[in-house]
Structure 1
Amino acid sequence: MVRPLRAALRIHTWGGFALALLLGASYAALPLFALLPHLWGFIAASAVSYVTDAWLHRVEPAFIRRLAGFRLDRIMRFLVRDALLLVLAVRMDAPEPVLVAGLLVLGGQFGILVLYTALHRVIHRKRRLPVAVRNMDMSDAGIPKAPPSLLVRRYLRRLLHLDLPMHAGLLVGLATSGWFFTKAGYAVSLVLPALLLLALAAQVRTARRMPEREEIIAALNRQLADYRPEVALYFSFAAVSRNFMYQVNMWIETLENLDRRPLIILRERASFSYLSRTRLPVVCVPRADDLAQLDLPELKVVLYPGNAGKNVHMLRVAEAKHVFIGHGDSDKLASSNRVSKVYDEIWVAGRAGRDRYQRIRHAIDDAAIVEVGRPQLAPIRPHAEHIPGPLPVVLYAPTWEGWSDDDCHTSLIPMGTDLVGALLDEGVRVLYKPHPLTGKRSAEAAAADRAIREMLDADNRRRQSVGTLPDLAAGPEQRMREINERLNELAGRNRTGDDAQQTRDARIPDHTGSDEWHALEAEWHHLFWSRTGPLRHQVITGQLPTLYECFNQADILISDVSSVVADFVASLKPYVLTNAHDLPDEEFRAAYTTAGGAYLLDRACTRLPEILRSVREPRHDPMALDRHTLKEYVLGPDRPTSMERFNTAVNTLADTALLHQQEQEQEQEQEQAPSGTLLIPALDANRADLS
């Protein structure tokens, strides 16, 4: 009964559930103590309500949002508590002037709150730019400085908590029958919000100096004219989750190594919070009308890592060639979608990707498919360089539940907990890395994810209690936090102010950040793995450690049909595909390309002990040869490198786009030229230049 209640209230931890119960109990007690009346009981309940409310905002923000959905938002909770305080004062026969003044202060506070909110929205609307940028110099756009964060950041929480002086003063007065502190509390609770309101009103005048939409677009176009981008990575994340930004981050380093000048175009303002470090210019343009105003005359190639409805806003650019690059090669239907036909070309890692699209008959022209490898896989260390630890390390990385049951490949629901239980029985070390979207659609997947985390935590505690697992090393924590802070700073995630302020402060970066970024990431990973040790199970959910670093730590991967498996093939280590529906091996391998080099695990996990022999006894690895064959089929040859092939594909397509553009210009000139004028030799000369 408790688990469904926690799920309904969106409470993720037992500590948060206890706090929620305390919050509910305190609010249930407030009217009781106000009517009795019982001063000290009211003081205790009021204090508990304040503390639990503030703490729940930190540890269970989803629960706080859920309360707002029940019409129990923060304003309502504060209003109820303050109103019950006045009821207590009436019941304790407080003087009428004290009661009237208290009512006036309470009304004044909430009146100021309404006016403050209105002014805040005026300023926010005035400062909302049509675009936001990174790594471009917008200093000439004339954007005024943002209001002080004291006035605009979490202003509602700040204003509501200014009822504390009134609250405390009246309670002191009721306890002592002396009203000096009551009057002082009333004055503070009314004057301070009024002063903040006046300060914010002064900022409205500054906000009115914001440049118009056309001026901002013109300033951005001046920057684009100086930079002259030739390649754009275009991305819009799905509304279900901002975690889709990993689809952009995985391509950043590849873009930075291109011969052509790249630009990143995003469509959601929240994207910047999830964008990794880059020295490339980044433009966020939420509205399609504003996107159409960008001046990109030299843009030749547009790359799309995901299929999203907003892609059509960029596909209208006829002068450029449009390429679907995806965010990984997998055997899922999404990796060979008929929608891909709208692009000029589809770039896949290897022959397997080409064959996957060819199975969609009469949909994708084979000439439109280009094999470019996977440049991102360079950090993955090969099997020959791997040094095993004292325990076999199993990376369990299930995929998510998909958009629908038809696209659900996750093993979490049918066999996840049984699989982890079997791994624990085998005495191996488990690294559990669920997909970032796990549990977003399916409550069953979310429940299985929680159960697995609890199982791994319980096994760690059990082994610690018997002395077979050392405690976590505490020394590196401070340094890891410092590294995280610096990484966030390099990525621009620590920037203060609104989008307008960040765009105002944006500048063209130097090229030294990349080396520092990689050095800090390497140091963080070293500290993380040395701190956890070679025996402890780990649940890995953040951006660090990276997926590929987990590959390097693992002896074997267990996963579902997903691009994770295709990437792991680059290591040539043993890997396992879950066969949750117990299909015959031949049928499963025929359906999924990456199964060609995989061990197949049945739903009951009866094959697990035999599969783990490939790690415990490396000579007993019958799928090793198949993995070598599969690697080239899925990811392409090792030479030329993936980066070289990808760069060549970009250059070739850019030249093709330029040629087609010149041909169109020649045709237009022919249509406009007087009869008898020949322009064909000029066209031939252009072709000769490109060759």
Structure 2
Amino acid sequence: MFVRWLCAVLRVRGVPDLLLVFVFGAGFALLPVFALLPSLWGFAAASAVSYLADEALHVRAPGFIRRMASLQFNRTMRFAARTVMLLALIERMDAPDRVLAAGLAVFSAHFASTMLYSAVHRAIRLRRVLPVAVRNLDMSEAGLPKQPPAFLYRRFLRRLLHLDVPAHAGLLAALAAGTWYPAAIGYGLTAVVSAAAVLALLGQYRAARRTPRRDELIQEVNRQLAGYRPEVALYFSFAAVSRDFMYQVNMWIETLEQLDRRPVIILREQASFRFLSRTSLPVVCVPKADDLAELDLSGVRVVLYPGNAGKNVHMLRIAEAKHVFIGHGDSDKLASSNRVSKVYDEIWVAGRAGRDRYRRVRHAISNDAIVEVGRPQLAPIRLDADHTPGPLPVVLYAPTWEGWSDDDCHTSLIPMGVTLVEKLLAENVRVIYKPHPLTGKRSREATEADRAIRAMLNADNEQREAAQTQAAVAAAAPRLAEIQAQLDALTGRSVGDYAEQTRTARVPGLDGADEWQALRTEWHRVFWESRGQIRHNVILKQLPTLYECFNQADILVSDVSSVVADFVASLKPYVLTNAQDLPDDEFRAAYTTAGGAYLLDRDCTRLPEILRSVREPRHDPMALDRRTLKEYVLGPDSPTSMERFNTAVNTLAARSEAELAEDDRALDLPFPAQRTDSAPALGNTGLPDRPVSLGNA
């Protein structure tokens, strides 16, 4: 328990990293001791240990490095402390005064050059902060300068500070040999290379000064948008809160690409670019509201919002467009029928269940404003009839996260997650564990439960796995990495900062989509084949996707979330956790998706009986209820969800165009009514400053 507490305090992952921290601390603690004794070889050993442990901790325990920086013992301070101890050693070993003076001058000049380099680097970085960053528009005419070479621009402080190594090594060698030539050589190398680095970066600053002005860049983006003529916009903000929110955009990309009308994606945080999936659609990122107001979006007739955020108001103020909340999954959570949705012209839900959910919120949303469009994303999910069971039942455990407050905490991880997995392992099943991307963002209890579950599954894998399975996983790793690199190359992201990504942005070709799909299919095939049919799997990354996990599973165990609503499309058995042990009738009345679910009590006493629905498919009393529920939650199979979604976009866009035409005719009257923008004021929007989670998609 003490070790776990210490790891949490020091922000390290386990005992190996904790030992590395102790080695690091011992190295620094011994530096003044060996300097004052004095002990040349002891000091050299402690200095080497401090260097190597420092670099290892940057790779293995970045949280510990950040904790030290918060305590004012950052990297620069550590290098300065090491240098001061070296100068103390020289003085204690009665080195000539000229050697000590030269060392003091060289190290002072080195740190001064580091400060100057940092100032120039900051000036370049500020010059390269653009008001707009884009993808999939041709920005070759914008005149953006290239990013400085990586060895000068990225992780520059780490490289600069290590330029003191020649001087350190030269001094130690001189003390050991009794001659001062090694010290002079080390001094010279440190001084010359430091000065050369500063001069090289100053040359890059001259190039950075040619960055176009704000108005010039926005004008070029508007010129490109005018050539594309977007009609539909997907507008998104949240990534500044957490990168994990980007799944809310990525789930809609393929749907947007199939629309009849021309879509554009508008992001509000530049961090979103890194986690945006592959798309051939134009992407425009505008962090500031003033810059967004200057974009020419006059042709946009429909704006789609996958999430509720305060910055939505910056787009809602556009009166010429129709604004639609599409969410990021249909869920029984209260957030899925939020009163904030009144600011939108329409709310699009999957099926009748979504409509009824809003109707239960009295005086909030009119029935006419709700449109049932299905869930186009669910096409990859295979039906139960097409599923081939393996030798062991496959249970997908996909709990939701803890929410923004205890009031909306729906996760089963905290009250029953560990117990559930223990009982599953006792039932001899194969577990696929996929927690929500935001698990542990707010609750330490959720983090601890998540770690305990991962540890149990890993330990059980060690007991049940054959040597050939472990070998297959290791053999597949290079191929999976190779495919992942190809997928990353096809995303449209280029190497470099956001200004460099904008500089190299071009209109994509038409042949990337097929290759993208083929690579993703191949990745999933290699992944699942290498894992075998008895190995538990912990899924934490974007791949394998949630829906591919659906296709592997025989049964789902989850909480009240959109994951359950999506899984209903497969018609496979699923389980809802009832951590509060509410009476079954009361629970089913409260949550629509419980109508086709097996309900699991907090102590998991019902689990063996529930698993009979998988082991004995004829013993599945909820099968008929799931079929009825599917149409209620997700809508009919015909027309398809994609057809219904596309029709909804076209209908609303046509309505917007008709209203604008009517307003234009009104302007021709002798005394036209004044056309106003009815958007809410920017300072009092009523929208939440933080996201409203609608599901566990």
Q: How far, CA to CA, are the matches of 1:463 and 1:501 in structure 2?
A: 49
Q: How far, CA to CA, are the matches of 2:69 and 2:670 in structure 1?
A: 64
* Alignment correspondent of 1:123: 124
Counterpart mapping for 1:88-487 below 5 A: 88-237=89-238, 239-464=240-465, 471-487=471-487
Give the deviation of 1:239 after TM superposition: 3.7
Q: How far, CA to CA, are the matches of 1:290 and 1:213 in structure 2?
A: 9
Give the deviation of 1:469 after TM superposition: 6.5
Please say if residues 225 and 295 of structure 1, whose CA atoms lie closer than 8 Å, have aligned partners that are also in contact: yes
Matched, 1:557 2:578: no
Give the deviation of 1:189 after TM superposition: 1.1
Q: How far, CA to CA, are the matches of 1:240 and 1:298 in structure 2?
A: 30
Secondary structure of 1:139's counterpart equals coil
User: How far does the alpha carbon of each residue in 1:349-391 deviate from its partner, in whole angstroms, 9 at most, with x for none?
Assistant: 0000011111110011111000000000000000000000111
* Alignment correspondent of 2:691: none
Q: How far, CA to CA, are the matches of 2:313 and 2:406 in structure 1?
A: 27
Secondary structure of 2:557's counterpart equals strand
Please say if residues 358 and 364 of structure 1, whose CA atoms lie closer than 8 Å, have aligned partners that are also in contact: yes
Give the deviation of 1:15 after TM superposition: 2.6
Secondary structure of 1:279's counterpart equals coil
* Alignment correspondent of 1:566: 565
Q: How far, CA to CA, are the matches of 2:589 and 2:344 in structure 1?
A: 28
When normalised by structure 2's length, the TM-score is: 0.95
Which amino acid in structure 1 is aligned with residue 549 of structure 2?
C
Give the deviation of 1:471 after TM superposition: 4.5
Give the deviation of 1:673 after TM superposition: 7.3
Please say if residues 236 and 306 of structure 2, whose CA atoms lie closer than 8 Å, have aligned partners that are also in contact: yes
Give the deviation of 1:672 after TM superposition: 4.9
Please say if residues 373 and 636 of structure 1, whose CA atoms lie closer than 8 Å, have aligned partners that are also in contact: yes
Please say if residues 301 and 657 of structure 2, whose CA atoms lie closer than 8 Å, have aligned partners that are also in contact: yes
Q: How far, CA to CA, are the matches of 1:78 and 1:50 in structure 2?
A: 9
Please say if residues 483 and 523 of structure 2, whose CA atoms lie closer than 8 Å, have aligned partners that are also in contact: yes
Secondary structure of 2:669's counterpart equals helix
Please say if residues 232 and 264 of structure 2, whose CA atoms lie closer than 8 Å, have aligned partners that are also in contact: yes
Q: How far, CA to CA, are the matches of 1:470 and 1:160 in structure 2?
A: 42
User: How far does the alpha carbon of each residue in 1:437-491 deviate from its partner, in whole angstroms, 9 at most, with x for none?
Assistant: 11111111111111111111111112248x7966444332222111100101111
Relative distance call for 1:249 and 1:415 in structure 2 (3 A) is: same
Secondary structure of 1:259's counterpart equals coil
* Alignment correspondent of 2:16: 15
Which amino acid in structure 2 is aligned with residue 486 of structure 1?
Q
* Alignment correspondent of 2:507: 508
Which amino acid in structure 2 is aligned with residue 88 of structure 1?
L
* Alignment correspondent of 1:679: none
Give the deviation of 1:402 after TM superposition: 0.4
Q: How far, CA to CA, are the matches of 1:455 and 1:310 in structure 2?
A: 42
Please say if residues 666 and 672 of structure 2, whose CA atoms lie closer than 8 Å, have aligned partners that are also in contact: no
Which amino acid in structure 2 is aligned with residue 289 of structure 1?
D
Please say if residues 240 and 440 of structure 1, whose CA atoms lie closer than 8 Å, have aligned partners that are also in contact: no
Specify every segment of 5 or more residues in structure 1 that has no aligned partner in the other structure, as ranges. Answer: 675-691
* Alignment correspondent of 1:66: 67
Specify every segment of 5 or more residues in structure 2 that has no aligned partner in the other structure, as ranges. Answer: 674-697
Q: How far, CA to CA, are the matches of 1:599 and 1:379 in structure 2?
A: 24
Q: How far, CA to CA, are the matches of 2:42 and 2:560 in structure 1?
A: 58
Q: How far, CA to CA, are the matches of 1:540 and 1:359 in structure 2?
A: 36
User: How far does the alpha carbon of each residue in 1:552-585 deviate from its partner, in whole angstroms, 9 at most, with x for none?
Assistant: 0011110111111110110010111111111111
% same residue: 69
* Alignment correspondent of 1:680: none
Give the deviation of 1:671 after TM superposition: 4.5
Q: How far, CA to CA, are the matches of 1:611 and 1:65 in structure 2?
A: 47
Counterpart mapping for 1:572-583 below 5 A: 572-583=571-582
Q: How far, CA to CA, are the matches of 1:249 and 1:537 in structure 2?
A: 27
Which amino acid in structure 2 is aligned with residue 299 of structure 1?
V
* Equivalent residue pairs, number: 672
User: How far does the alpha carbon of each residue in 1:200-242 deviate from its partner, in whole angstroms, 9 at most, with x for none?
Assistant: 1112221111111000000000001000000000001154311
* Alignment correspondent of 1:651: 650
* Alignment correspondent of 2:527: 528
Q: How far, CA to CA, are the matches of 1:237 and 1:126 in structure 2?
A: 25
Please say if residues 239 and 272 of structure 2, whose CA atoms lie closer than 8 Å, have aligned partners that are also in contact: no
Q: How far, CA to CA, are the matches of 1:590 and 1:239 in structure 2?
A: 37
Secondary structure of 2:64's counterpart equals helix
Q: How far, CA to CA, are the matches of 2:238 and 2:294 in structure 1?
A: 22
Which has the larger displacement, 53-62 or 600-609?
Answer: 53-62
* Alignment correspondent of 1:55: 56
Q: How far, CA to CA, are the matches of 2:284 and 2:588 in structure 1?
A: 43
Give the deviation of 1:172 after TM superposition: 1.1
Which has the larger displacement, 253-262 or 57-66?
Answer: 57-66
Q: How far, CA to CA, are the matches of 1:334 and 1:239 in structure 2?
A: 20
Give the deviation of 1:42 after TM superposition: 1.8
Q: How far, CA to CA, are the matches of 1:55 and 1:169 in structure 2?
A: 24
* Alignment correspondent of 1:2: 3
Q: How far, CA to CA, are the matches of 2:273 and 2:81 in structure 1?
A: 38
Matched, 1:489 2:474: no
Which amino acid in structure 2 is aligned with residue 347 of structure 1?
W
Secondary structure of 1:195's counterpart equals helix
User: How far does the alpha carbon of each residue in 1:287-327 deviate from its partner, in whole angstroms, 9 at most, with x for none?
Assistant: 00000000112100000001111100000010000000000
Q: How far, CA to CA, are the matches of 1:381 and 1:118 in structure 2?
A: 56
* Alignment correspondent of 2:683: none
User: How far does the alpha carbon of each residue in 1:397-453 deviate from its partner, in whole angstroms, 9 at most, with x for none?
Assistant: 111110000111111111111111111111111111011111111111111111111
Q: How far, CA to CA, are the matches of 2:22 and 2:430 in structure 1?
A: 37
Give the deviation of 1:191 after TM superposition: 1.1
Q: How far, CA to CA, are the matches of 1:48 and 1:246 in structure 2?
A: 42
Which has the larger displacement, 337-346 or 123-132?
Answer: 123-132
Q: How far, CA to CA, are the matches of 1:336 and 1:306 in structure 2?
A: 12
Q: How far, CA to CA, are the matches of 2:30 and 2:513 in structure 1?
A: 57
Q: How far, CA to CA, are the matches of 1:13 and 1:246 in structure 2?
A: 30
Q: How far, CA to CA, are the matches of 1:576 and 1:39 in structure 2?
A: 67
Could you say which structure has the greater relative contact order, defined with CA pairs below 8 angstroms and 6 or more residues apart? Answer: 2
Q: How far, CA to CA, are the matches of 1:525 and 1:43 in structure 2?
A: 51
Relative distance call for 1:480 and 1:451 in structure 2 (3 A) is: same
Which amino acid in structure 2 is aligned with residue 245 of structure 1?
M
Please say if residues 238 and 308 of structure 1, whose CA atoms lie closer than 8 Å, have aligned partners that are also in contact: no
Secondary structure of 2:575's counterpart equals strand
Please say if residues 487 and 520 of structure 1, whose CA atoms lie closer than 8 Å, have aligned partners that are also in contact: yes
* Alignment correspondent of 2:32: 31
Relative distance call for 1:471 and 1:146 in structure 2 (3 A) is: closer
Which amino acid in structure 1 is aligned with residue 83 of structure 2?
D
Which amino acid in structure 1 is aligned with residue 247 of structure 2?
Y
Which has the larger displacement, 16-25 or 313-322?
Answer: 16-25
Matched, 1:43 2:44: yes
Secondary structure of 1:314's counterpart equals helix
Secondary structure of 1:390's counterpart equals coil
Give the deviation of 1:148 after TM superposition: 1.6
Which amino acid in structure 1 is aligned with residue 391 of structure 2?
P
Please say if residues 589 and 596 of structure 1, whose CA atoms lie closer than 8 Å, have aligned partners that are also in contact: yes
Please say if residues 463 and 469 of structure 1, whose CA atoms lie closer than 8 Å, have aligned partners that are also in contact: no
* Alignment correspondent of 1:601: 600
* Alignment correspondent of 1:76: 77
Please say if residues 469 and 530 of structure 2, whose CA atoms lie closer than 8 Å, have aligned partners that are also in contact: no
